[in-house]
Amino acid sequence: MSAFQVDEVVAALQGVRREWRDTQQRMQTGGERELPSREVVADVVEALTGALFPMRLGPTDLRQESEDFYVAHTLDNALHHLHAQATLELRHERRRTAAELAELSAEAQQRVREFAAALPGIRQLLDTDVMAAFHGDPAARSVDEVLLCYPGVLAMIHHRMAHRLYKLGLTLLARIVAERAHAQTGIDIHPGAQIGAGFFIDHGTGVVIGETAVIGERVRLYQHVTLGAKRFPIESDGHLMKGLPRHPVLEDDVVIYAGATILGRVTIGKGATVGGNVWVTQDVPPGCSVTQALSRELARDPNAVPAAVSAK
Amino acid sequence: MSAFQVDEVVAALQGVRREWRDTQQRMQTGGERELPSREVVADVVEALTGALFPMRLGPTDLRQESEDFYVAHTLDNALHHLHAQATLELRHERRRTAAELAELSAEAQQRVREFAAALPGIRQLLDTDVMAAFHGDPAARSVDEVLLCYPGVLAMIHHRMAHRLYKLGLTLLARIVAERAHAQTGIDIHPGAQIGAGFFIDHGTGVVIGETAVIGERVRLYQHVTLGAKRFPIESDGHLMKGLPRHPVLEDDVVIYAGATILGRVTIGKGATVGGNVWVTQDVPPGCSVTQALSRELARDPNAVPAAVSAK
Amino acid sequence: MSAFQVDEVVAALQGVRREWRDTQQRMQTGGERELPSREVVADVVEALTGALFPMRLGPTDLRQESEDFYVAHTLDNALHHLHAQATLELRHERRRTAAELAELSAEAQQRVREFAAALPGIRQLLDTDVMAAFHGDPAARSVDEVLLCYPGVLAMIHHRMAHRLYKLGLTLLARIVAERAHAQTGIDIHPGAQIGAGFFIDHGTGVVIGETAVIGERVRLYQHVTLGAKRFPIESDGHLMKGLPRHPVLEDDVVIYAGATILGRVTIGKGATVGGNVWVTQDVPPGCSVTQALSRELARDPNAVPAAVSAK
Amino acid sequence: MSAFQVDEVVAALQGVRREWRDTQQRMQTGGERELPSREVVADVVEALTGALFPMRLGPTDLRQESEDFYVAHTLDNALHHLHAQATLELRHERRRTAAELAELSAEAQQRVREFAAALPGIRQLLDTDVMAAFHGDPAARSVDEVLLCYPGVLAMIHHRMAHRLYKLGLTLLARIVAERAHAQTGIDIHPGAQIGAGFFIDHGTGVVIGETAVIGERVRLYQHVTLGAKRFPIESDGHLMKGLPRHPVLEDDVVIYAGATILGRVTIGKGATVGGNVWVTQDVPPGCSVTQALSRELARDPNAVPAAVSAK
Amino acid sequence: MSAFQVDEVVAALQGVRREWRDTQQRMQTGGERELPSREVVADVVEALTGALFPMRLGPTDLRQESEDFYVAHTLDNALHHLHAQATLELRHERRRTAAELAELSAEAQQRVREFAAALPGIRQLLDTDVMAAFHGDPAARSVDEVLLCYPGVLAMIHHRMAHRLYKLGLTLLARIVAERAHAQTGIDIHPGAQIGAGFFIDHGTGVVIGETAVIGERVRLYQHVTLGAKRFPIESDGHLMKGLPRHPVLEDDVVIYAGATILGRVTIGKGATVGGNVWVTQDVPPGCSVTQALSRELARDPNAVPAAVSAK
Amino acid sequence: MSAFQVDEVVAALQGVRREWRDTQQRMQTGGERELPSREVVADVVEALTGALFPMRLGPTDLRQESEDFYVAHTLDNALHHLHAQATLELRHERRRTAAELAELSAEAQQRVREFAAALPGIRQLLDTDVMAAFHGDPAARSVDEVLLCYPGVLAMIHHRMAHRLYKLGLTLLARIVAERAHAQTGIDIHPGAQIGAGFFIDHGTGVVIGETAVIGERVRLYQHVTLGAKRFPIESDGHLMKGLPRHPVLEDDVVIYAGATILGRVTIGKGATVGGNVWVTQDVPPGCSVTQALSRELARDPNAVPAAVSAK
């Protein structure tokens, strides 16, 4: 006899699962795992990060002469695991039976091959991001420190891989990669966002960048910047319309200071600057600066208790 | 001879610990661990998550036919570890001696049994949360993606368990569970908060929900929303008054956009909407919308450098 | 034949690495690891945390009578690993050859020795932080709960160690420690910031504290507070000027509520309070309160859709 | 440039592998793993051992009330892994293509199902072995000590499972299981050997029991006993003849003391005893004892150095 | 539905366990683990080995200056785990209820304290064993090689600890330790055997030393030597008589070559030598050598196939 | 206060270590680890085994197309670890100071490079061993089964690597490798033994092969065969003479059955056979068979109890 009525709880949970499955009218796939695994994808990302920056983010005992052995083995292994996850995603997306699995696997393989071919380009873009952080932050002492410590760089390593997966139609894997970065850095970049070279996010906690955002080269953001949608257009059938461009366009050399919120398909022109906490829902011309008009009350009476923003 | 004078440091640290213990007038409990373990509680939560969603968040090689074996074993194991942690919490709370441990253990067992019995209901509520996310986010492609990737869902898996522990008087364990979600998602929900079915937090970083908040059904929040207390009433003896309702009430179908701050025991009426970055300290009637009056200065002079919000 | 053209990708990655190294004109260091390891530093911090609070954050099966054995062994081990990492930092900073390694190692040893000697003082400061959280939060039930659960305390355990490393010139290690706290708590404190005893950050997500900030005793912050720089002075040669005091000074007993932004080398006087979401760029006299003038529009028309701050 | 000419060694090893594969005229199986894994089989055996004796050889924190949950989950998991290994064996044996894999898998499943059904009987037999050891060894203090410590019992847990696999035609898996016992205990029992209830091997190192040996009930062996074949009959085509009974038959209640060697298809009659170091190649009638005639020379001259049996 | 009828197998196994428990009339101990754990004891032995020889068998990165920290922490930890295991043994032996556990724990603590106090003496004895191996083997190049590589030394590290446990009445723990050595080295020394300083076993596989054997100083054995009992005296009630001296006595400076078998309470006198494969059941006077009279047949006929000793 | 007087035990152990070090007059090497690590060497052997037989003894998920990536990375990594261990051995052997370490490291590197170059040849020899086992054992069903299951093959994988290390003067590493095989298989082959192609040991427990043994091609041994030294010649100074050929020579195609003992520098001629349990101290001419003259007493009296060879 279990002290916790485990038998009953198990039966009740089984009932709830059955209900859920009935509601979802799930196709039977032989009772096997239907979804990619967050853990496996996380390992793949970790391995690819090491393969991209072997001497700095790879294993601590790696020597330069062995880089290529390490890169080849790690890459090969990671890509095969990615292939398996990609096949799972395709099967899940199309609800195919096991019989058609070979076909899906071949398709997944083709996509992973394209992903692999894109990795050198990704590394080149990341090098520009590292340089951007190094030049943009007076506190940065070396490019290595930037690569090792900056959450914005960590987020971009994830995003540049996630974006490539997204463009190859592996949107679920892309999302898992993006959420891993979100969990580690507090920076939430949708894998669909297009981001040019030399991108730098400082501090980063609370940054949100939407799916159809387009960001030029050498752009700089600070913490808690939102590049969001203003509203969701609704189709005639009452469903949300999908795929429409609904997030901002930031042209080259734009700087957005902390806490700024930019909403809708507006364009922030080349070289423009948006000040801290500013709320923008219209275009900003190139070269302009937008700042907030401050309003503040100063109470000299020390007994005046201000509104506490606390959850207590 | 140690290179780092470890002996001296050890002695000094011993002295500091002694001071601390003298100040705290800690009851002697035989020198054993007095506190629950974050690591054990994290493992329990991980296991319970797998038991709640075996085929999607459980082990990757699970097959549907084996679900119940897995659920039974995992649940049984997790509940026993939870029982041990609950006993530690009760002992810590009441400063009992080992002699009374059996009594505390029996009490802890009863509470864990009630917790176990609540798990099927928790799973049902979480299913409504998943559906809410799926319907509320135009980017969501499947309910499985939502379960796998959305930090808001991860936070609610934790919260719905933590809230049950809180109601059973295991507030320290509840808090440890809540802080685990906070660390992973940046969403900080106090375990005391009451939250109805179909709750959805999008993006989530920076959300804070206070202990006495009451949230109805089908409510939606975005990132960086605060449901906080306005001020802390002080008792005649100068201590903060505890337990008073001091956080907002959100009725059914409320939507709160990103960055909004709602303070104090105000009520946001059924179906009302609070716009982004709005600061609310009064009731909002049902069906109403509150938005921020924008004030902004546009400087066309490109040399005008705006206030940088940076920590550099 | 590899399914993913691994050979080609490896060659291309090699090319990109060569380009990068050429650009960086990196000194050859014999092909060995040139940088400290985040993983090792994380383990060191974990071990030191256990050594500082053995019975509460150390191993779960520790008994009080064995504390000193555990502390001595753990400390000794952690300090030696720290020594190795410190040597790597010095070598990296100075681009020395292996021949001079012994000298760098001796210098690193001296610094780690000073760090070790500072640990008892760090523990004492942390005890004041724990007490501050306990007294400052009406929801805190015991000092142990505070130590176990509060992200603000976790951030301060990291910061007080990171700050000591920073003052010893080990700025890269300091930064790695600080970023570990940032990733876990969403609280981003630059290791250079000077923070007095009894410091308490509640909730914490989104807090940013800059390098030259100076914080007195018994100060309290809430989530999403920024203590930032207003602008970066530029030197005659066009480079950002470094090392100038550019962040706020908070005197004793200051309270800053959630979302407030304080920029530049301003002084918030003893006992002053800054309300939620307030933007401050000037001094606040001692004992004063600053609150935000609210402007809000209430639309009773339920069809008026407010600006959504979302990334969808 | 690798310090160890790894490229060249890799190429040379590739050449040797190619030679080997050419010689072996291996069927191509798509380049995947062709063989069962020793590591996986070892884990399966470990898990089944826990499932057979949950409270004594299972996890240390198991409680009796949870036995069935543990047994069900562990068994289910172990059997599925065994199924995968059995499928690999069948494919390897028959050199089938992947296309026929489903068929092989079904066949493997049927065999594993029979294996599973045999487990309760195996446990019953093992209980008799434990009792035999307890009663046969004056030093044994409890049946639990016997189960925990006696290498002979460990060998029989392996053998009784291996024998069942052998009878189900999974001879390669059977052999892997047997060799695991051999490595741990120095007891080498071929999985084909038929062994009755209440079997006890004391000490055990160096025991060898051949494939066609037949052992009755309540038999006892000591270390370094060999039950071997006398010679291998050769077929007309010059190959060794297979499958002929060529090892001894030991009837019920036989005792064989240490170092005895019994060769060929001889029968040791019911209740007979074979003394230490005796060499037997003929039948021994029931109830008889066979002992060795000793021949020994005693040299009183202390300078006479005897033949050293050493590898030095 | 499980593919392997797991439910049925679980039920059947439950039945077998119930039968066994009924037969054994096991006292109920609340359903918890009743026995010491081999895994825990193995870890304790591993830790104690490191504490005895820190720089050579301890962790590879230990430095001499830190030895005492390592030894203290490791010892403390290992002894506490040993204490827990000793308590389990006492409870198992006496079938006590949990209520009397505190008493048993105190008794176990006293014994472990005595064990701890004996460790320095054990280390000294082991040093003599290492020197004996170094001087006795022409192939030994250094004392460190001996400590690192010789299975005879590994066996003695275990035995000298096991013997102490045996003398303290912890015979089950002693046996577990002894069987661990047996599994690793093929050397089976009963923990009761008394063995003097400077003992050396070369090669070792197949050595068996009985419970009441007494071995003097500077004795040397080779592989496959048995120091056994001749027969087991039977008491009037038909049970085997226990505890009688029934194994050989080897006086100082005896050498026994490979494969020799010495049975019963005979005495091999000081400095005597027993040759390879000799069978001894009588006393051997001091200084004498015993060798085997060889008998051998040489068949020049190459067709004469000798008796194969094989299990095929 | 420790329950086990750990402080006193630590101090006493320190005293014993000091004594030992004084006796050994150990050179000071800065207090660092002076010896190779068994664990590291074991990992190296494991990795090299995988590199030699990637698809059969490498990781279970390896695919043929990735073999070379796996082999290159694994080899590279293993060889570098071996290099570090070889450097430790050279330093230990020569008691050099750290200052001369670079020189020793270069020498070690050269030896490891030669070892690496020998690996393809080792693989070829091992292929002949596998074929010999397959043809020599009627029970072997496939070459893969042989590679996977036969302890004799496992021993030879170790020996052929250990022998190469021995010839390169890395005798301590060679010994560690050999003892690893000994522990796993009960087969004790001194790394110095020269063994030709196509060597097969069946069962193997208790086999001992001495340092100067020379074994031709296609030789077969069974369990418990000793190829030992007859006596150790003593030099005029009373020390054992080293390096003299003192173990048997087995010419091509020799078969030695189980339990045979061959002592001294005798030659067993080409194609000769030595029967089970035979004791040989003289040359055996080519093509001859040697068998044992049996002597046995058969007691029909069932009450006559034979000499028990037991340790009870």
Assess contact for A144 and A55: CB atoms under 8 A. Answer: no
The amino acid at residue B100 is E
Q: What is residue C27's predicted lDDT score, i.e. its pLDDT?
A: 44
Query: With 90 as the cut, is the pLDDT of residue E250 above it?
Result: yes
A3 touches chain D (CB under 8 A): yes
Q: Compare F303 and C92 and report the one with higher pLDDT.
A: C92
Average pLDDT of the segment spanning B103-122? 94
**Three-class DSSP labels, B73-118:** HHHHHHHHHHHHHHHHHHHHHHCCCHHHHHHHHHHHHHHHHHHHHH
Q: What is residue B242's predicted lDDT score, i.e. its pLDDT?
A: 66
Structure tokens at F9: 């035990």
- The CA distance from F309 to F312, in Å, is 9
User: Which residue of chain D is at minimal alpha-carbon distance from A63?
Assistant: D2
Using one digit for the tens of pLDDT, what is the confidence trace for A94-105? 876 666 888 999
Residues 128-147 on C with a CB inside 8 Å of A are 137-139
- The CA distance from A270 to A128, in Å, is 19
Q: What is chain F's mean pLDDT, rounded?
A: 87
Q: Which chain B residues contact residue D70 at CB under 8 A?
A: 73, 76
Q: What is residue D234's predicted lDDT score, i.e. its pLDDT?
A: 64
Q: What is residue C234's predicted lDDT score, i.e. its pLDDT?
A: 65
CB contact under 8 A, F14 and E64: no
pLDDT band at F305 (very low <50, low <70, confident <90, very high): very low
B65 touches chain A (CB under 8 A): yes
State the DSSP string of A254-305.
-EE-TT-EEESS-EE-TT-EE-TT-EE-S-B-TT-EEEEPP-EEEE--TT-P
User: Which residue of chain F is at minimal alpha-carbon distance from D31?
Assistant: F64
Whats the size of chain A, residue-wise? Answer: 312
Query: With 60 as the cut, is the pLDDT of residue E27 above it?
Result: no
Q: Compare B29 and C3 and report the one with higher pLDDT.
A: C3
Q: What is residue D20's predicted lDDT score, i.e. its pLDDT?
A: 84
CB contact under 8 A, C63 and E80: yes
Q: Which chain C residues contact residue E85 at CB under 8 A?
A: none
User: Which residue of chain C is at minimal alpha-carbon distance from A258?
Assistant: C226
Q: Which chain D residues contact residue F179 at CB under 8 A?
A: none
Average pLDDT of the segment spanning A137-144? 82
Q: Which chain F residues contact residue D4 at CB under 8 A?
A: 75-76, 79-80, 83, 109, 112-113, 116
State the DSSP string of D124-174.
HHHHHHHHHHHHH-TT---HHHHHHH-HHHHHHHHHHHHHHHHHTT-HHHH
Identify the residue among A63, A71, A73 best suited for mutation to test binding to F, counting F beta carbons within 10 A and taking the highest. A73
Nearest CA-CA distance, residue C224 and chain F, Å? 46
Q: Compare E215 and B300 and report the one with higher pLDDT.
A: E215
Average pLDDT of the segment spanning B67-91? 93
**Model-level pTM?**
0.90
Structure tokens at F130: 């596998």
For residue D182, give Cα distances in angstroms to D51, D132, D199, D207, F141. 22, 21, 17, 9, 19
Separation of first and last alpha carbons in chain D: 42
Whats the size of chain B, residue-wise? Answer: 312
The contacts found for D165-172 with CB under 8 angstroms, 24 or more apart, are: D165/D115, D165/D191, D166/D191, D166/D192, D168/D111, D168/D114, D168/D115, D169/D111, D170/D86, D170/D89, D170/D111, D171/F141, D172/D36, D172/D89, D172/D92, D172/D93, D172/F141, D172/F142, D172/F145, D172/F148, D172/F149
A32 touches chain D (CB under 8 A): no
In CATH terms, the superfamily for domain C206-312 is Hexapeptide repeat proteins (2.160.10.10)
Q: What is residue C271's predicted lDDT score, i.e. its pLDDT?
A: 97
Using one digit for the tens of pLDDT, what is the confidence trace for A123-132? 999 999 999 9
- The CA distance from E81 to E42, in Å, is 11
Half-sphere exposure for B287 (CA within 13 Å, toward CB): 4
pLDDT band at E308 (very low <50, low <70, confident <90, very high): very low
- The CA distance from D158 to D45, in Å, is 8
D113 touches chain B (CB under 8 A): no
Strands C220-221 and B220-221: unpaired
Looking at chain B, the whole-number percentage of residues with pLDDT higher than 70 is 85
The amino acid at residue A262 is I
Identify the residue among F4, F182, F255 best suited for mutation to test binding to E, counting E beta carbons within 10 A and taking the highest. F4
Angle in degrees, 0-180, between the axes of helices F151-167 and F171-185, rounded to the nearest 10: 170
User: Which residue of chain C is at minimal alpha-carbon distance from B4?
Assistant: C113
Q: What is chain A's mean pLDDT, rounded?
A: 87
Q: What is residue F270's predicted lDDT score, i.e. its pLDDT?
A: 97
D80 touches chain B (CB under 8 A): yes
Structure tokens at C161: 């160690």
Query: With 80 as the cut, is the pLDDT of residue C49 above it?
Result: yes
Domain ranges of chain C: 34-186, 206-312
Chain C to chain E Cβ contacts (< 8 Å): 33
In this complex, which chains have at least 3 CB pairs below 8 Å with chain E?
A: B, C, D, F
Q: What is residue B288's predicted lDDT score, i.e. its pLDDT?
A: 93
B215 touches chain A (CB under 8 A): no
Listed ranges B2-6, C134-138, C271-275; the one with the highest mean pLDDT: C271-275
pLDDT band at F310 (very low <50, low <70, confident <90, very high): very low
Q: Which helix (H) or strand (E) holds E85?
A: helix E67-94
Query: With 50 as the cut, is the pLDDT of residue F306 above it?
Result: no
State the DSSP string of B48-69.
HHHHHSHHHHS-TT--GGGHHH
Average pLDDT of the segment spanning E193-197? 98
The amino acid at residue D270 is K
E209 touches chain F (CB under 8 A): yes
Average pLDDT of the segment spanning B4-20? 87
Using one digit for the tens of pLDDT, what is the confidence trace for E213-231? 999 999 999 999 999 988 6
Assess contact for C16 and A123: CB atoms under 8 A. Answer: yes
F69 touches chain C (CB under 8 A): yes
C75 touches chain B (CB under 8 A): yes
Whats the size of chain E, residue-wise? Answer: 312
CB contact under 8 A, E39 and D52: no
Q: What is residue B232's predicted lDDT score, i.e. its pLDDT?
A: 63
Q: Compare F33 and F274 and report the one with higher pLDDT.
A: F274
State the DSSP string of C40-101.
HHHHHHHHHHHHHSHHHHS-TT--GGGHHHHHHHHHHHHHHHHHHHHHHHHHHHHT--GGGH
Nearest to E69 among C61, C63, C72 (CB): C72
Q: What is residue F253's predicted lDDT score, i.e. its pLDDT?
A: 97
CB atoms within 10 A of CB E110: 14
pLDDT band at A76 (very low <50, low <70, confident <90, very high): very high
CB contact under 8 A, E295 and D300: no
Q: What is residue A232's predicted lDDT score, i.e. its pLDDT?
A: 63
User: E-assigned strands of A101-234?
Assistant: 188-189, 194-195, 200-201, 208-209, 214-215, 220-221, 226-228
Q: What is chain E's mean pLDDT, rounded?
A: 87
Nearest to A72 among F61, F73, F77 (CB): F73
Residues 82-101 on F with a CB inside 8 Å of E are 92-93
Chain B to chain C Cβ contacts (< 8 Å): 245
Nearest to B312 among C232, C292, C296 (CB): C232
Cα E264–chain centre separation? 20
Query: With 80 as the cut, is the pLDDT of residue C191 above it?
Result: yes
Q: Which chain D residues contact residue E287 at CB under 8 A?
A: 300, 302
- The CA distance from F157 to F129, in Å, is 9
CB contact under 8 A, C175 and A127: no
Q: Which chain E residues contact residue B65 at CB under 8 A?
A: 1-3
Structure tokens at E45: 């032995």
pLDDT band at F101 (very low <50, low <70, confident <90, very high): confident
Using one digit for the tens of pLDDT, what is the confidence trace for F290-301? 986 554 555 444
F239 touches chain D (CB under 8 A): no
Q: Which chain F residues contact residue E142 at CB under 8 A?
A: 92-93, 172
Q: What is residue C239's predicted lDDT score, i.e. its pLDDT?
A: 62
pLDDT band at A304 (very low <50, low <70, confident <90, very high): very low
Residue E242 dihedral angles phi and psi, to the nearest 5°: -110, 155
Assess contact for D69 and D76: CB atoms under 8 A. Answer: no
Range in D177-191, D210-224, D279-293 the model is least confident about: D279-293
Half-sphere exposure for F116 (CA within 13 Å, toward CB): 29
User: Which residue of chain C is at minimal alpha-carbon distance from B172?
Assistant: C145
Q: Encode A157-187: b = buried (16+ Cβ within 10 Å), e = exposed.
A: bbbbbbbbbbbbebbbbbbbbbbbbbbbbbb
Q: What is residue F31's predicted lDDT score, i.e. its pLDDT?
A: 62
pLDDT band at F28 (very low <50, low <70, confident <90, very high): very low
Q: What is chain B's mean pLDDT, rounded?
A: 87
Q: What is residue F83's predicted lDDT score, i.e. its pLDDT?
A: 95
User: Which residue of chain D is at minimal alpha-carbon distance from E270?
Assistant: D302
pLDDT band at A48 (very low <50, low <70, confident <90, very high): very high
User: E-assigned strands of D137-288?
Assistant: 188-189, 194-195, 200-201, 208-209, 214-215, 220-221, 226-228, 249-250, 255-256, 261-263, 267-268, 273-274, 279-280
Q: What is residue B26's predicted lDDT score, i.e. its pLDDT?
A: 55
Query: With 70 as the cut, is the pLDDT of residue C235 above it?
Result: no
Assess contact for F253 and F270: CB atoms under 8 A. Answer: yes
- The CA distance from E58 to E52, in Å, is 8
Nearest to C257 among A61, A304, A308 (CB): A308
User: E-assigned strands of chain A?
Assistant: 188-189, 194-195, 200-201, 208-209, 214-215, 220-221, 226-228, 249-250, 255-256, 261-263, 267-268, 273-274, 279-280, 289-292, 296-299
Average pLDDT of the segment spanning C156-178? 97
Q: Which chain F residues contact residue E116 at CB under 8 A?
A: 4-6, 9
- The CA distance from F172 to F167, in Å, is 11
Q: What is residue E39's predicted lDDT score, i.e. its pLDDT?
A: 93
Query: With 50 as the cut, is the pLDDT of residue C16 above it?
Result: yes
pLDDT band at C308 (very low <50, low <70, confident <90, very high): very low
- The CA distance from A128 to A132, in Å, is 6
Q: What is residue A82's predicted lDDT score, i.e. its pLDDT?
A: 96
Q: Which chain E residues contact residue C75 at CB under 8 A?
A: 69
Looking at chain D, the whole-number percentage of residues with pLDDT higher than 70 is 85
In this complex, which chains have at least 3 CB pairs below 8 Å with chain D?
A: A, B, E, F
Q: What is chain D's mean pLDDT, rounded?
A: 87
Q: What is residue C212's predicted lDDT score, i.e. its pLDDT?
A: 94
Identify the residue among C1, C2, C83, C101 best suited for mutation to test binding to F, counting F beta carbons within 10 A and taking the highest. C2
Query: With 70 as the cut, is the pLDDT of residue A267 above it?
Result: yes
Nearest CA-CA distance, residue D178 and chain F, Å? 9
Structure tokens at A253: 């050399």
Q: Which of D70, B62, D172, F22 is nearest to E2 (CA)?
A: B62
CATH architecture of D34-186: Orthogonal Bundle (1.10)
Average pLDDT of the segment spanning A207-215? 96
pLDDT band at E32 (very low <50, low <70, confident <90, very high): low
Q: ipTM score of the complex?
A: 0.88
Query: With 60 as the cut, is the pLDDT of residue B310 above it?
Result: no
Using one digit for the tens of pLDDT, what is the confidence trace for B193-221? 999 999 999 999 999 999 999 999 999 99
User: Which residue of chain B is at minimal alpha-carbon distance from C150?
Assistant: B179
Q: Which chain D residues contact residue F221 at CB under 8 A?
A: none
Half-sphere exposure for E64 (CA within 13 Å, toward CB): 14
Using one digit for the tens of pLDDT, what is the confidence trace for E87-109? 999 988 887 666 688 899 999 99
Q: Compare C175 and D29 and report the one with higher pLDDT.
A: C175
E31 touches chain D (CB under 8 A): yes
Nearest to D73 among B61, B72, B80 (CB): B72
Using one digit for the tens of pLDDT, what is the confidence trace for D144-174? 889 999 999 999 999 999 999 999 999 999 9
CB atoms within 10 A of CB D263: 26
E244 touches chain D (CB under 8 A): no
pLDDT band at F174 (very low <50, low <70, confident <90, very high): very high
Query: With 50 as the cut, is the pLDDT of residue D63 above it?
Result: yes
Query: With 60 as the cut, is the pLDDT of residue E154 above it?
Result: yes
Half-sphere exposure for E301 (CA within 13 Å, toward CB): 5
Query: With 70 as the cut, is the pLDDT of residue A168 above it?
Result: yes
Q: What is residue D293's predicted lDDT score, i.e. its pLDDT?
A: 55
Assess contact for C310 and A264: CB atoms under 8 A. Answer: no
- Could you say which DSSP state residue B139 is in? T
C6 touches chain F (CB under 8 A): yes
Q: What is residue D32's predicted lDDT score, i.e. its pLDDT?
A: 63
Q: What is residue E22's predicted lDDT score, i.e. its pLDDT?
A: 83
Structure tokens at F225: 């065969």
pLDDT band at E242 (very low <50, low <70, confident <90, very high): low
- The CA distance from A267 to A249, in Å, is 5
Nearest CA-CA distance, residue C66 and chain A, Å? 33
The amino acid at residue F39 is E
